[in-house]
Structure 1
Amino acid sequence: MFALRTRLAGVVALVALGAAGCGGDPAPSTAPPTPAASESPGRQVGSGPSSSQAAAPSAGSTAGAAAGQPVKHAFPVQGKASYARTHHDYPASDIMAACGLTAVSPVDGTVLEVTRTDTYQAKVNDGATRGGLSVNILGGDGIRYYMSHFSTIDQGIEAGTPVKAGQPVAKVGRTGDASACHIHFGISPACQKTTDWWTRRGAIWPWSYLDAWKAGTEKSPVADVEQWQQQHGCPTKPLVNP
């Protein structure tokens, strides 16, 4: 009997000792672990604008106007004009119109650059001066619109001047490398804004947009320009005949 009691006391002591040892370690949690914050490529966790705070578009971006207003477009000539669906060497449109007709801004935007002096020389044939008198506009949609060969440019049209679609900016002419009165019209990404004449002169075909604007229908070239830039970036030299 004494031996039985001794064995039972030993078992009780061992159970008590084991319970004390387990009590020193924290019990495993049954709750699932909190997931770590995820990180999207190119963005640090917790940084950048929230979904309710869109970043303001910078000049040259293809985002909409900063004020959130729709960007309007207009056919570049007041009066009778025609244009082909092709152009030599690179995408652009020659809008044929009588000398002296009023040329207007094709978009709501800001003037980037104005050339008031015709320095083109045929024997040199420099692409940078081939347009003669020209106006270069950054649209509120982030797209660059270039028009050239003007006879005169209106007073008050200078770099930094805000313009509205349909606002007069110049008169049709044939300065630069032009044998007949017309407007050379090019649409391109902003890229270097003023110095990259090889992109400024035209990157996408404008005729479908000219068709729409002439008919009074709004049509944006943003998607077309974005696709072109995804393929070509901002070239540092002409892609075709300079």
Structure 2
Amino acid sequence: MEAVTRVEIMRSGHLGRWAAVAGAVLLTSACSQATGLAGVSAKSPTTAPPTGTPAVTATIPGPTPSVRHQAAAEQPPQGDDPVMVPPPKLSKYAYTFPVKGCRTTYQRKLLVLPKTTIWAPQGCEFVAPVDGVVDEVNVQNRWTPARDEGWTREGRFVTVVGDDGVRYLGGHLDSVAADVKPGLRVKAGHVLGKVGRTGNARDTGANLYFAISWKTGPAYWWVRRGMVEPWDYLDAWAKGNRTLSPREETLKLRAKLGETPPCTVQCAGRAQPSTPSKTPRPTPRKTAEKKDEIPDKETLNPTTVP
């Protein structure tokens, strides 16, 4: 009996040890599956079971942009400052607007003659529009409304023959500069006189009669009164394109019409009233037509005579 009991105890001891070993193995396996390498779980985290009420994710709108900010956002990006490009050089001559230091307006259409009236306050400076030589100077105002002779209509005036071969006339002057004489060499911008109301501008506002033509003798006064329309050139000179030259147009027109074309506009003055006289008058000699007569040399100081 005692032997049987001892065998059973030994068997139970072995079984206990085997049970302990098996339990340890099972425990180790369970731990390795749960934690993985280095104690990090190999399983994905469990998701909490859904409840009866579904979860709602709310999106909170941002602040609405103001009208000012929206307008600023719609503006195009600011660019660099514009690069100022000088106007193209159109000729070798440099010109300047013929009235200096005053606000002006002028006609841009053909009225009676191809000339323009530059309206400016009395006393503004009339200047040489280009380098050249003073050709004619008239310091006397001989125009009268009774006679209205064509060659006196500009009153006091100065003409300049530019280095470009073109003649420029400024008339209706209030005065002529003291140093301005025929043959005087001038640069563009040289003061020739002051804007006024002489000649047939007596009853108008102060202005400068400005005309472009070619050089002729003083007997052909209608040529100096204007042959080439000047406003395109005045526009260019006023806006900064100082090299637009009337030379080519002037030379073409002179070649077409001749240097001394006949007078066609405002050629004669008003007829003078006749007064009866008992004294017989001598028969006048045949002379050149009136249009070829040379005006008083005290009034006109030409450098050449045709």
Q: One fold, TM greater than 0.5?
A: yes
1:88 to 111, 127, 130: 111
Bigger-Rg structure (1/2): 2
- Indicate whether 1:150 and 2:173 are aligned: yes
Structure-to-structure mapping, 1:1-242, within 5 angstroms: 70-78=92-100, 79-178=102-201, 179-192=204-217, 194-217=218-241, 218-242=243-267
Could you list the per-position Cα deviations for residues 205-242 of structure 1 after superposition, in whole angstroms to 9, with x for gaps in the alignment? 00000001111212100111112112211235312332
Q: How much does 1:130 deviate?
A: 0.7
- Identify the structure with the greater strand proportion: 1
Q: How much does 1:71 deviate?
A: 2.9
Could you list the per-position Cα deviations for residues 43-97 of structure 1 after superposition, in whole angstroms to 9, with x for gaps in the alignment? xxxxxxxxxxxxxxxxxxxxxxxxxx94321101011011011243210010000
> Gapped runs of 5+ residues in structure 2?
1-90, 268-306
Q: How much does 1:165 deviate?
A: 0.8
| AA partner of residue 211 (structure 1) | D
CA distance in 1, matches of 2:250, 2:119: 24
Task: Look up the SS of the partner of 2:249 in the other structure.
Answer: helix
Task: Look up the SS of the partner of 2:130 in the other structure.
Answer: coil
CA distance in 2, matches of 1:241, 1:234: 19
- The answer to whether the Cα contact below 8 Å between 1:87 and 1:94 also exists between their aligned partners in 2 is no
- Identify the structure with the greater helix proportion: 2
Task: Look up the SS of the partner of 2:254 in the other structure.
Answer: helix
Could you list the per-position Cα deviations for residues 116-159 of structure 1 after superposition, in whole angstroms to 9, with x for gaps in the alignment? 11011111111111100100110011111111001011110010
CA distance in 2, matches of 1:72, 1:109: 11
| AA partner of residue 94 (structure 2) | K
| AA partner of residue 74 (structure 1) | T
- The answer to whether the Cα contact below 8 Å between 2:150 and 2:266 also exists between their aligned partners in 1 is no
TM score, norm. by length of structure 1: 0.68
- The answer to whether the Cα contact below 8 Å between 1:74 and 1:214 also exists between their aligned partners in 2 is yes
CA distance in 1, matches of 2:153, 2:146: 11
CA distance in 2, matches of 1:199, 1:208: 20
Q: Which residue of 2 aligns with 1:4?
A: none
TM score, norm. by length of structure 2: 0.55
For these two proteins, the number of residue pairs brought into alignment is 173
CA distance in 1, matches of 2:238, 2:172: 20
| AA partner of residue 109 (structure 1) | G
